């Protein structure tokens, strides 16, 4: 039997997600979100629960790849090293350039954009590579990337669990003109300049939002905040077999391609999907790929949504009291629940 406290924390986190989905269904996503952000006691308890789940319970399983979701942080760092320091970035740049040349006149505009980008960055490149990489960790909670030596981390959260995490609602963050200074108003961030980040991380973030449009807004914002050739990491929970939610993952890929992202790394680990998307120098190629995929599916229009399996589940017309984490269950039901929440509180 799994630890009782582990189960209680997982249940609390899951109930916050359920409550938000229920409220969004009842009063609309925008209103529900606004009200949710004012529930400081629940946000605070969520922050404490999440921090404890990740740093105590998941940490215990950190060395076992089959059990651990803790490896999500390691996965992101490993892929950053491969991409930024071990040549993958240059390989991708060459591939993009080759494809553009292959497509010929139709993409003449792309070729010009590419050449201009190469000229502008050539002088800065060596300097940039030697400096820290700027990583925006959205929904950071407890700043798990803090210890990484080559990262300058900007951790943000609506409910920081650690004092070095900035208070910020990403949905309402203003993206301002590039080359503006980053304004840190005390421990709160209200705006960031565009094209300022090498890396944006959404680790277990997107499923928090009750509505597919809010998730889409997040990826659009990440696109604006990233430098060309920067990476967006998305870690999303799924304890099922890799093929079970493959159509949803494919739709994400098509939607992100429509924005100008191409997928660089993907891995299904036992409890999570791990993905890294590159902001292409020119968005036309990935847009073309996306249109081709839609054509194959006989779809004409890309949806400005990012769905998760929970969107297709029935919304219960009554949401249990969030504070009441004690539910009457049989031993068998208890065991099933524990197995389900052993690693992640979402599925
Ligand atoms: C499930 S936790 C994940 C924490 C951490 N990233 C991890 O991998 O362990 C989701 C976090 O996202 C935060 N969050 C949700 N919506 C947010 C928003 N709009 N802006 C910033 N943070 C948000 C929550 O407060 C919560 O700490």
**Sequence-separated contacts (24+) of 263-266 with Cβ below 8 Å:** 264/79, 264/83, 264/88, 264/92, 264/231, 265/79, 265/82, 265/83
- The verdict on residue 192 lying in a domain is yes
Residue to mutate, 205, 211, 213, ligand 1, most ligand atoms under 8 Å from C-beta = 205
Confidence band (pLDDT; 50, 70, 90) for 72? very high
Residues with CB under 6 A from ligand 1: 47, 50, 54, 138-141, 156-159, 168-171, 203-205, 208
Q: Which residue's CA is the closest to the ligand 1 atom numbered 12?
A: 139
Same domain, 90 and 194: yes
pLDDT of residue 99 exceeding 70, the answer is: yes
- The verdict on residue 217 lying in a domain is yes
Same domain, 78 and 62: no
Same domain, 176 and 52: no
For ligand 1, the distance from its centroid to the CA atom of residue 221, given in whole angstroms, is 16
For ligand 1, the distance from its centroid to the CA atom of residue 202, given in whole angstroms, is 8
Residue to mutate, 58, 208, 308, ligand 1, most ligand atoms under 8 Å from C-beta = 208
- pTM, two decimal places: 0.85
Q: Tens digit of pLDDT for each residue in 137-173?
A: 999 999 999 999 999 999 999 999 999 999 999 999 9
- The verdict on residue 310 lying in a domain is no
Q: Which residue's CA is the closest to the ligand 1 atom numbered 14?
A: 139
pLDDT of residue 181 exceeding 80, the answer is: no
For ligand 1, the distance from its centroid to the CA atom of residue 84, given in whole angstroms, is 26
Can you tell me which atom of ligand 1 is nearest the CA of 169?
20
Same domain, 81 and 127: yes
For ligand 1, the distance from its centroid to the CA atom of residue 206, given in whole angstroms, is 8
Same domain, 179 and 38: no
Residue to mutate, 142, 157, 210, ligand 1, most ligand atoms under 8 Å from C-beta = 157
For ligand 1, the distance from its centroid to the CA atom of residue 247, given in whole angstroms, is 25
Same domain, 190 and 219: yes
Q: Tens digit of pLDDT for each residue in 203-255?
A: 999 999 999 999 999 999 999 999 999 999 999 998 888 788 888 899 999 99
Same domain, 20 and 136: no
Residue 41 class from Cβ within 10 Å (0-12 exposed, 13-18 middle, 19+ buried)? exposed
Q: Which residue's CA is the closest to the ligand 1 atom numbered 9?
A: 54
- The verdict on residue 207 lying in a domain is yes
For ligand 1, the distance from its centroid to the CA atom of residue 17, given in whole angstroms, is 11
- Determine the structural domain holding residue 47 and report its residue range: 4-67+329-341
- The verdict on residue 302 lying in a domain is no
Same domain, 9 and 95: no
**What mean pLDDT, rounded, does the chain reach?**
82
- The verdict on residue 312 lying in a domain is no
- The verdict on residue 255 lying in a domain is yes
Say what the ipTM of the complex is.
0.99
Can you tell me which atom of ligand 1 is nearest the CA of 209?
16
Q: Residues annotated in the binding site, as ranges?
A: 139, 157
Confidence band (pLDDT; 50, 70, 90) for 190? very high
Same domain, 165 and 192: yes
Q: What is the CATH number of the domain that holds 190?
A: 3.40.50.150
Total domains in the chain come to: 2
Same domain, 15 and 95: no
Which residues sit opposite 153 in a β-bridge?
135
Q: Residues annotated in the binding site for S-adenosyl-L-methionine, as ranges?
A: 139, 157
Same domain, 253 and 215: yes
For ligand 1, the distance from its centroid to the CA atom of residue 225, given in whole angstroms, is 18
Same domain, 166 and 22: no
Q: Tens digit of pLDDT for each residue in 276-315?
A: 999 999 998 899 888 888 887 777 666 778 988 888 876 6
- The verdict on residue 322 lying in a domain is no
Strand pairing report for 174-176 and 191-193: parallel
Report the C-alpha gap between 190 and 269 in whole angstroms. Answer: 34
For residue 53, give the nearest of 153, 161, 136 by alpha carbon: 161
Q: Which residue's CA is the closest to the ligand 1 atom numbered 5?
A: 140
């Amino acid at each position: 039997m799994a630890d009782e406290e582990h189960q209680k924390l997982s249940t609390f986190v899951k109930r916050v997600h359920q409550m938000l989905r229920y409220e969004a269904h009842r009063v609309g996503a925008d209103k529900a979100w606004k009200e949710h952000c004012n529930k400081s006691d629940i946000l605070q308890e969520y922050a404490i629960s999440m921090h404890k789940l990740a740093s105590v319970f998941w940490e215990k399983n950190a060395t076992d790849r089959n059990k651990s979701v803790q490896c999500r942080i390691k996965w992101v760092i490993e892929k950053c090293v491969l991409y930024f320091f071990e040549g993958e970035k240059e390989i991708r740049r060459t591939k993009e350039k080759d494809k553009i040349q292959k497509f010929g006149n139709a993409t003449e505009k792309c070729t010009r954009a590419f050449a201009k980008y190469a000229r502008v960055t050539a002088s800065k490149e060596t300097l940039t590579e030697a400096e820290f990489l700027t990583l925006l960790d959205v929904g950071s909670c407890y700043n798990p990337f803090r210890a990484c030596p080559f990262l300058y981390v900007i951790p943000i959260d609506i409910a920081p669990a650690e004092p070095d995490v900035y208070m910020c609602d990403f949905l309402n963050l203003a993206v301002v003109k590039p080359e503006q200074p980053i304004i840190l108003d005390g421990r709160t961030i209200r705006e960031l300049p565009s094209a300022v980040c090498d890396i944006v991380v959404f680790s277990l973030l997107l499923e928090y939002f009750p509505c597919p449009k809010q998730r889409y807004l997040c990826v659009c914002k990440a696109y604006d905040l990233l430098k060309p050739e920067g990476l967006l990491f998305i870690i999303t929970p799924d304890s099922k077999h890799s093929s079970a939610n493959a159509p949803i993952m494919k739709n994400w890929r098509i939607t992100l391609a429509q924005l100008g992202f191409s997928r660089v790394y993907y891995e299904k680990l036992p409890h999570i999907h791990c993905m890294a998307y590159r902001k292409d120098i020119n968005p036309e190629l990935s847009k073309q790929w996306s249109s081709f995929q839609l054509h194959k599916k006989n779809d004409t229009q890309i949806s400005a949504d990012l769905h998760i399996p929970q969107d297709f589940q029935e919304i219960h017309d009554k949401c249990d009291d969030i504070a009441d984490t004690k539910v009457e269950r049989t031993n068998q039901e208890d065991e099933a629940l524990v197995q389900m929440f052993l690693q992640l509180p979402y599925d």
